[in-house]
Copies of this chain bind each other. A is one copy, B any other.
Amino acid sequence: METTRLDQQMNFLLEVDKLKRVDRQTLIVDGTRPENSAEHSWHIALMGLLLAEHIDQPQPLDLLKVVKMMLVHDIIEIDAGDVFAYDEDEEREEREKQAGRRIFGLLPQDQAEELYQLWIEFEERQTPEACYAASLDRLLPLVQNYLTGGYTWVKYHIPEEKVRRRNQVIIESSHDLWQYAQSIIDQAKEKGYFEK
Contact B51 A71 (CB under 8 A): no
Answer yes or no: A39 CB below 8 A from chain B CBs.
Answer: yes
Answer yes or no: A107 CB below 8 A from chain B CBs.
Answer: yes
Contact A38 B47 (CB under 8 A): no
Chain A interface residue count, Cβ-Cβ cutoff 8 angstroms:
47
Chain B residues contacting A147 (CB-CB under 8 Å) are 14
Chain B residues contacting A41 (CB-CB under 8 Å) are 42
Q: How many copies does the complex hold?
A: 2
Answer yes or no: A143 CB below 8 A from chain B CBs.
Answer: yes
Contact B14 A21 (CB under 8 A): no
Give which listed residue, B20, B49, B53, B111, contacts A28 with CB less than 8 A. Answer: B20
Answer yes or no: A164 CB below 8 A from chain B CBs.
Answer: no
CB A24 to nearest CB in B, in angstroms, measures 12
Chain B residues contacting A107 (CB-CB under 8 Å) are 50
Answer yes or no: A86 CB below 8 A from chain B CBs.
Answer: no
Answer yes or no: A166 CB below 8 A from chain B CBs.
Answer: no
CB A134 to nearest CB in B, in angstroms, measures 17
Answer yes or no: A5 CB below 8 A from chain B CBs.
Answer: yes
Closest to A48 in B: B71
Chain B residues contacting A93 (CB-CB under 8 Å) are none
Chain B residues contacting A161 (CB-CB under 8 Å) are none
Cα–Cα distance between A38 and B71 once the two chains are bound (Å)? 12
Closest to A74 in B: B42
Q: 10 tightest CB-CB pairs across the interface, nearest first?
A: A42-B42, A38-B39, A17-B29, A64-B64, A39-B39, A20-B39, A46-B71, A41-B42, A20-B28, A38-B42
**12 A-B pairs with C-beta separation under 8 A:** A5-B53, A14-B29, A16-B46, A17-B29, A17-B144, A20-B35, A20-B43, A36-B39, A38-B38, A42-B45, A49-B71, A50-B111
